[in-house]
Amino acid sequence: MTTQELVAPAYTAPTTYSEIIRDEIKAECGRRGISQRRLSRVIGISQQSLSDRWRGRIPWTLDEVERLEPVLGLDRGALLFRCARRDSNPQPSDP
């Protein structure tokens, strides 16, 4: 195994609203100690479906985000505000 294979891939900041929403949901679950298993049960989707959303393979729908509200104590408006706030912090590399 080479040194290159042992190095973790570089972090890539989220660039789309779907990625920002995914990261915010993951962060809130981490803050509250909510596992993927528990979250999938509470919002009524399979663990595989949740894993697909967790990894960004499938974006969260607004209906799913709405079902997260009572679990995470985070409403859609606050989540979208976080997205807008993060998006309003332009970086030098932005076009």
DSSP secondary structure, 43-71, as one string: HT--HHHHHHHHTTSSPPPHHHHHHHHHH
User: Which pLDDT score, from 0 to 100, does residue 7 have?
Assistant: 63
Q: Give residue 46's pLDDT.
A: 95
Query: What pLDDT score does 73 carry?
Result: 84
Residue 66 is which amino acid? Answer: E
Distance CA 33, CA 56 (A): 20
C-alpha neighbours within 13 Å on the C-beta side of residue 92: 0
Cα 77 to Cα 90: distance, rounded to the nearest angstrom: 21
Could you please state the CATH topology (level 3) that the domain comprising 16-86 is classified under: 434 Repressor (Amino-terminal Domain) (1.10.260)
Low-confidence stretches of the chain (pLDDT < 70) are 1-14, 86-95
pLDDT of residue 35: 93
pTM score = 0.71
C-alpha to C-alpha distance for 54 and 40, rounded to whole angstroms: 11
